[in-house]
């Protein structure tokens, strides 16, 4: 009975004989002998075994321990399936949001580029002799300069992101 209980509880905890032996500071063969009924642990090891397996000594010594039944495993499997479906749904929602952000980024870049192209002048006819418009003109020219040099790379990265997020 002790041997069967040790084996059943160890397996239900997902421990190998080697892992249990490491926890108890014994060799694997000792655990194997206990499970085969060829020897029994002494009192100190029995207490340590009880702690390692998180089972009362009375359960190890007398009460027969049964393996988890199929309905319990089925219920756990159903819960895991539900969690997996929820995680997949969240992933799809995040991917869809990322796609829309990338589409918006592409549209904004194209619209700004078209607007600058239609303006047909790098300086947009600002009168730099007028101090009030000179500052605004220099600021806009700086934006235009940065946009023309950075926007193509950002646009390519956004398109690549759209292609990559479009795959399932």
pLDDT, residue 42, reads 84
Average pLDDT for 138-163: 87
Average pLDDT for 144-148: 85
pLDDT digits (tens, 9 = 90+) for 21-31: 998 899 999 99
Confidence of residue 128 (pLDDT cuts 50, 70, 90): low
Query: Exposed, middle or buried by CB within 10 Å (0-12, 13-18, 19+), for 99?
Result: middle
- Token pair, residue 166, equals 């479009």
- Token pair, residue 27, equals 């060799």
Q: Is the pLDDT of residue 57 over 60?
A: yes
pLDDT, residue 122, reads 56
pLDDT, residue 84, reads 86
Average pLDDT for 140-148: 84
Question: Which distant-in-sequence residues (6+ apart) come within 8 Å of 15 by Cβ?
Answer: 23, 53
Q: Is the pLDDT of residue 102 over 80?
A: yes
Q: Is the pLDDT of residue 104 over 60?
A: yes
pLDDT digits (tens, 9 = 90+) for 60-100: 777 655 555 667 778 888 888 888 889 889 998 998 999 99
Query: Exposed, middle or buried by CB within 10 Å (0-12, 13-18, 19+), for 151?
Result: middle
Q: Is the pLDDT of residue 120 over 70?
A: no
State the residue for tokens 């988890």: 68
Average pLDDT for 23-49: 87
> What is the model's pTM?
0.43
């Amino acid at each position: 009975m002790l041997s069967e209980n040790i084996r059943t509880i160890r397996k239900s905890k997902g421990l190998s004989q080697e892992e249990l032996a490491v926890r108890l500071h014994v060799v694997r063969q000792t655990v194997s002998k206990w499970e085969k009924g060829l020897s029994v642990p002494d009192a100190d090891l029995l207490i340590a075994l009880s702690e390692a397996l998180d089972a009362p000594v009375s359960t190890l010594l007398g009460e027969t321990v049964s393996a988890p039944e199929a309905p319990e495993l089925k219920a756990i499997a159903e819960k895991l399936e539900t969690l997996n479906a929820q995680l997949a749904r969240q992933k799809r929602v995040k991917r869809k949001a990322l796609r829309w952000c990338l589409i918006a980024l592409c549209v904004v870049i194209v619209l700004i580029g078209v607007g600058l192209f239609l303006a047909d002048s790098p300086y947009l006819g600002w009168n730099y002799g007028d101090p009030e418009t000179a500052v605004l003109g220099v600021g806009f020219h700086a934006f235009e300069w940065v946009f023309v040099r950075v926007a193509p790379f950002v646009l390519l990265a956004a398109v690549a992101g759209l292609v990559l997020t479009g795959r399932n």
